[in-house]
Amino acid sequence: MSKKNIASVDVSGKRVLIRVDFNVPVEDGKITDDRRIREALPTIQSVLSRGGKAILISHMGRPEGVGFEPEFSLKLAADRLAQILGKPVAFPSNDCTDAGAAAAVAAAKPGDVVLLENLRFHKAEKKGDPAFAAKLALYGDVYVNDAFGTCHRPDASMVAVPKAMAGKPRVCGFLVEKEIKFLAAAIAKPARPFVVVLGGAKVSDKMGAIEHLMPLADTILVGGAMAYTFLAAQGKNVGTSRVEKDRIADAKKIIDMDKKMKVEVLFPVDHVCSTQFEEKSGDIEVFDDEIKDGFMGLDIGPKTQTKFAIILQKAKTIVWNGPMGVFEWAPFATGTQQVGKAIARATAAGATTIVGGGDSAAAAEKFGIADQLSHVSTGGGASLEMLEGKKFESVDLLDQA
């Protein structure tokens, strides 16, 4: 999966169409986490420093796709990018394909940055429409995919645009290159022991990753609500914990696979539980092994935290996807925090550690360990699909190195 990157292209005087991922969270009219914008800077600055014109396209949120919706405008992202770069960012109009957008691109000079409005104001973006893509393709002499969070999607800007730009350079940005390096290359030949930590709410979300990683990993640690489907499949009492009854058979299949492979799959041995799915109400108790009726598991218990931490500190490669409990609520945050800290300690000891975006990345940020890990992915869904071993057409279309 070795692809040419933006550094390999002469961009002087050229319009470089960069598909970025500026789908940042916004609350009360303010960006609450600008990490995706900051992660795009190396690619943008590489173009600007070499005399290129950076033409940026992105989506944000889930608009209806029938025109401009102010709450999904990329104007906040344009302002934030301008602040970080210390230079103006042109943001021409309410539509990425109208005359105003085309005029802004045509007027751009070497070293300029233009960010066009939300691609998803057009239904054609999600549909992968070639006619829509052809309009966007006119904006660039070079195509760059630096939107890892959308790499698994067949959207027009990800697939149809590079197809429309066949014959022109089509390369990856530094962010996508880094994501591929960690999520594909590091896992293909991991330093051992290789430990996978999986959590989150649903077994169904992680089945593909579990099946793909089982033959590769030495140990898989399972926490979060998904653990209770596995424990129920083993006949254990899990109280009122969340169980995907339609996935019990899948859970039993994984447990049986564990017996036939070298990999060891471990589940929580104790649980922090409550009588209510609430942060500040309900009776909280810790149970060993089986959970009392009327209680639900909302975090891994202290024995499990210690057990998992001991395994993690010996690891040389770690992939973490999914929290160990409801980490957003203080009474149930300790399991995720302790696992995160154990992974950070392993990183300091020389392990390669990869966090698969989404809630895991949010937890790493919340507990102040994101910068202590080897790589925190910017794409939750994309990182999970890559951990499942899936191929991305958006990446396959890029020029081979």
Question: How far is residue 15's CA from residue 36's CA, in Å, rounded to a whole number?
Answer: 22
Instruction: State the DSSP string of 189-220.
Output: S--SSEEEEE-SS-HHHHHHHHHHHTTT-SEE
> Which one is catalytic: 356, 358, 379, 380?
358
Catalytic, 235? Answer no
Nearest to 117 by CA among 78, 87, 84: 78
Nearest to 217 by CA among 315, 137, 136, 301: 315
Question: How far is residue 125's CA from residue 250's CA, in Å, rounded to a whole number?
Answer: 35
Distances in whole angstroms, Cα of residue 2 to Cα of each of 180, 392, 398, 400, 401 = 9, 13, 10, 6, 6
Question: How far is residue 41's CA from residue 39's CA, in Å, rounded to a whole number?
Answer: 6
The pair of structure tokens assigned to 355 is 């966090």
Question: How far is residue 251's CA from residue 227's CA, in Å, rounded to a whole number?
Answer: 9
Are 272 and 298 within 8 A, CB to CB?
yes
Which residue blocks in 261-313 are alpha helix, DSSP H? 302-313
φ, ψ of residue 269 in degrees (nearest 5): -105, -10
> Which one is catalytic: 51, 100, 111, 381?
381
- For the chain, what is the radius of gyration of the CA atoms? 23
Are 162 and 144 within 8 A, CB to CB?
no
Residue 374 is given by DSSP the state S
Nearest to 304 by CA among 324, 318, 322, 285: 324
Catalytic, 200? Answer no
> Which one is catalytic: 75, 163, 181, 202?
202
Catalytic, 62? Answer no
Catalytic, 303? Answer no
Return all residues near 102 (Cβ < 8 A) that are at least 6 apart: 138, 139
- 79: amino acid identity, one letter: D
> Which one is catalytic: 36, 53, 178, 206?
36
Secondary structure of 54-87 in HEC code, one letter for each residue: EEEECCCCCCCCECCCHHHCCHHHHHHHHHHHCC
The residues annotated as belonging to the active site are 36, 202, 358, 381
